[in-house]
Amino acid sequence: MNKNIKVIWIYNIYDNSYNIFCWSFLYKMKISTNQFKNGTKILIDNAPCSIIEHEFHKPGKGQAVMRVKYKNLLTRNTNDKTFKSGESVEAADVNHKDMEFLYTDGESWHFMDSNSYEQIEIGLNEIGDAKKWLIGQETCEIILWDDKPILVNPPVNVELRIVKSEPGVKGDTVSGATKPAELETGVIIQVPLFVNEGEVVKVDTRDESYVGRAKQ
């Protein structure tokens, strides 16, 4: 993080001496649209956003532009915006940290840094849909903006037990046929007909799809 340092002299009336007083302040870092990459974090309407796609466009006449599709990290909404080529945009002070999920008390979700053992609480708005994949000890990616958690990305794959599903039929292996199954966190996914209640399955959290039976 870039900082500027200000230094002033403060007169100490108690010992008739001058002391140096320093403080730092953040300045707004700017990046050019020519530096855009997928995943670049910028501020749009004072909200941190992540670039999903970007395309340089040069019309026959007129100024070249950069067309961007981005995700607002606060609202999770996806939008489009067009910038002038070479335009300066304010960068977002966004960092990523891997942390282990410990437990929830129903109002906050508690995570721990496995290296420093630092613990943080994350509220309902910030945990979002990640909560439906967590039962304990999962390593999640915590997104921080100005050192405050704003988003939680669960593991790409999780292993959860099926708590409710219609019994499978022996020998029923019709290709592509599925049935609904409720997982221990309450999520309902589609699984093959031969998968039974009580089994642990691997699920892709990105699209809630069945990956396979978990290895025991």
Q: Tell me whether residue 22 is in a domain.
A: no
Q: Tell me whether residue 24 is in a domain.
A: no
**Residues 101 and 124 occupy one common structural domain:** yes
Q: Tell me whether residue 5 is in a domain.
A: no
**In terms of residue numbers, what domain contains 135?**
94-153
Q: What are 148's two structure tokens? A: 């405050």
| pLDDT of the residue at 205 | 96
Nearest to 185 by CA among 168, 200, 195: 200
- Residue 194 in contact with residue 214, Cβ under 8 Å? no
Last residue of a domain, one of 153, 174, 192: 153
pTM of the model: 0.71
Helix/strand/coil (H/E/C) assignment for every residue in 47-65 = EEEEEEEEEEECCCCCCCE
**CATH number, domain with residue 72:** 2.30.30.30
Q: Tell me whether residue 9 is in a domain.
A: no
Tally of structural domains, the chain: 3
- 134-160, pLDDT tens digit by residue? 999 999 999 999 889 999 999 999 999
